[in-house]
Structure 1
Amino acid sequence: MDLSKVKMVVTDMDGTLLNSQHEVSGQFLELFQKLKERDIVFVAASGRQYQSIVDKLPSIKNDIIFIAENGGLVMQNDTELVSTPLASPAKKRVLDILDSIDDVHPVLCSKNSAFILPESREFEEKLQEYYSEYAVIDDLKAFEGEILKIALYHFENSEQFIYPFVKPLEGDLQVKVSGQNWVDVSSLDANKGFALRKVQQLHGITPKETMVFGDYNNDLEMLALADFSYAMENAHPKVKKAAKYSTLSNDDLGVEAVLEKLLA
């Protein structure tokens, strides 16, 4: 394996670069400076809100590219590179389905804020980890602003209690189990792979020169765009099957371990 070919490193955040306490390691920040010295492009790709990813990487925010909202938004130096909104008819279709699901907490995700219902107040503490900018509104269906995706949260298990209801939307919309508690619904083109392909094209970097790390199903499309694709030890079985290589868990500094080899 010739890691000297790598010109771009892309990593998911939760369950991948971040540990179980949602923290970035000091070791990663040291390794990042070495990546920067070698002109290796770094991309943080997450289902998180853009502002929330920036909050996790404040010291390097001006030196990296952000793929936010599962590919719905790509930002660099506070400049929008890619935006893929969810059409209003699709938004209504998703929200209508939610009327038949118990214990689901929907989040409308726009470029600059997120919106939840008053009855989701108990969910706010969880929301704040992923969305630093949000507001409570009385009626999500009445919201007329542009949104990038609808995130759906279940306190127990999203794949079991939410996904079966929204699975019929697949084919028309992007439906992704993006974590233990999350399902995201967005435009068909709003995925991390679509966004990463745009970033690769902008920088003239090929899949043969790309390294990607992921742990959940919303990472599958971008893993397919890298010859150096890594699944975390804690990854979903589908991710482990799709990735070409594996590394340690997010709590055991799996991303850092591979970056050490890359820089060596």
Structure 2
Amino acid sequence: MIKLIATDMDGTWLTDAKTYDVDLFLREFKIMQERDIKFVVSSGNQYENLITRFPEVADQIYFVAENGALVAKGKQVIHTDSLSDNDLATIVQITRQYDEKAIASGLLSAYVLDSTSPEYIEELRKYYYKITPVADFANLDDQIFKVTFDVAEAKMPQMLAELKRNYPNLGFVSGSAGSIDMSTKGMNKAVGLQYLSKKLGINFREMVAFGDSGNDVGMLKYVGRSYATGTALPSAKNAADRIIGSSNDSAVQKEIWRLLN
């Protein structure tokens, strides 16, 4: 019996144009409400960004944001797990060692260096609702959950392996084919789902999840039934029980409709 459905956003639920079939979702959500099935948006993205995607029902769904470090019910944050001072200091040093664009994700805002171009900041608004330029990532007056490198797809796998090798006490995952998330070791979306499991009294076997990237692997392995999109990274496909179609064809929503009916 399904009691919770969790889905990643980019590359999974959202099309390349950052849209989804709202009418189909609202029909599905009505059924989920009638059967007391919890709907969870589980993403590496900023919570403030995610909540804008579901204006009709945001108050009635759960959010596992920042790769599991923030959990919310509607507009109420109910759990956070930020980086320790030591881990954040190490990650700040890493951002200084590598010549890559970096974004720090916090509870109050996302942060970029004030040398960041306006064009790149505008591109980031697809994923971050609040963005604040700062002179340095050190001494940010916020709870910081992760820092993300935006890297070329061709160099991402090698750089990810290098970071894991050089900094074994931190957590590194591919947020997409061209990004690397740096966070607390062991932090992933499954941590957020584990919190909801205890809070809601839902066994992991009663959960279904959908994903496409390295930051979905923990979640896909944790739940009772998991799906990866056809365009997913190999790590996500290997972790999933089944491969479905593309987000551009609303494959996740179509599979949810099938599961509900």
Flag the 1:107–1:161 CA change in 2: closer, same or farther, 3 A.
farther
Cα offset, 1:142, TM superposition: 3.7
Q: In 1, are the aligned partners of 2:51 and 2:74 still within 8 Å (CA)?
A: no
Amino acid at match of 1:59: E
Tell me whether 1:238 sits opposite 2:232 in the alignment. Answer: no
Partner residue, 2:8 = 12
Partner residue, 2:65 = 68
Structure 2 Cα separation of the partners of residues 128 and 63 of structure 1: 25
Tell me whether 1:98 sits opposite 2:95 in the alignment. Answer: yes
Structure 1: unaligned runs, 5 residues or longer:
none
Cα offset, 1:100, TM superposition: 2.6
Tell which deviates more after alignment, 164-173 or 80-89. 164-173
Partner residue, 1:33 = 30
Partner residue, 2:107 = 111
Per-residue CA shift, 1:54-76, capped at 9, x if unaligned?
A: 01111110110000111110011
Amino acid at match of 1:120: T
Partner residue, 2:78 = 81
Secondary structure at 2:216's aligned position in 1?
helix
Structure 2 Cα separation of the partners of residues 180 and 66 of structure 1: 23
Structure 1 Cα separation of the partners of residues 120 and 164 of structure 2: 23
Q: In 2, are the aligned partners of 1:24 and 1:56 still within 8 Å (CA)?
A: no
Flag the 1:99–1:133 CA change in 2: closer, same or farther, 3 A.
same
Tell which deviates more after alignment, 231-240 or 159-168. 159-168
Cα offset, 1:155, TM superposition: 5.1
Partner residue, 1:249 = 246
Secondary structure at 2:108's aligned position in 1?
coil
Tell me whether 1:143 sits opposite 2:140 in the alignment. Answer: yes
Cα offset, 1:178, TM superposition: 0.8
Secondary structure at 2:236's aligned position in 1?
helix
Amino acid at match of 1:163: L
Secondary structure at 1:258's aligned position in 2?
helix
Flag the 1:221–1:170 CA change in 2: closer, same or farther, 3 A.
farther
Cα offset, 1:158, TM superposition: 6.2
Partner residue, 1:131 = 128
Amino acid at match of 1:67: V
Secondary structure at 1:99's aligned position in 2?
helix
Cα offset, 1:253, TM superposition: 1.2
Structure 2 Cα separation of the partners of residues 28 and 128 of structure 1: 24
Structure 2: unaligned runs, 5 residues or longer:
none
The correspondence of residues 163-242 of structure 1 with structure 2, limited to 5 A, is 163-168=160-165, 171-242=168-239
Amino acid at match of 1:66: F
Q: Which runs of 4+ in 1 moved over 4 A?
A: 155-158
Partner residue, 1:22 = 18
Cα offset, 1:99, TM superposition: 2.2
What TM-score, normalized by structure 1, do the two folds share? 0.92
Cα offset, 1:187, TM superposition: 1.3
Identical columns (%)? 29
Cα offset, 1:77, TM superposition: 2.8
Cα offset, 1:189, TM superposition: 4.3
Secondary structure at 1:251's aligned position in 2?
helix
Flag the 1:230–1:60 CA change in 2: closer, same or farther, 3 A.
same
Flag the 1:65–1:244 CA change in 2: closer, same or farther, 3 A.
same
Secondary structure at 2:124's aligned position in 1?
helix
Cα offset, 1:172, TM superposition: 1.4
Cα offset, 1:161, TM superposition: 6.7
Aligned length: 259
Flag the 1:262–1:11 CA change in 2: closer, same or farther, 3 A.
same
What TM-score, normalized by structure 2, do the two folds share? 0.93
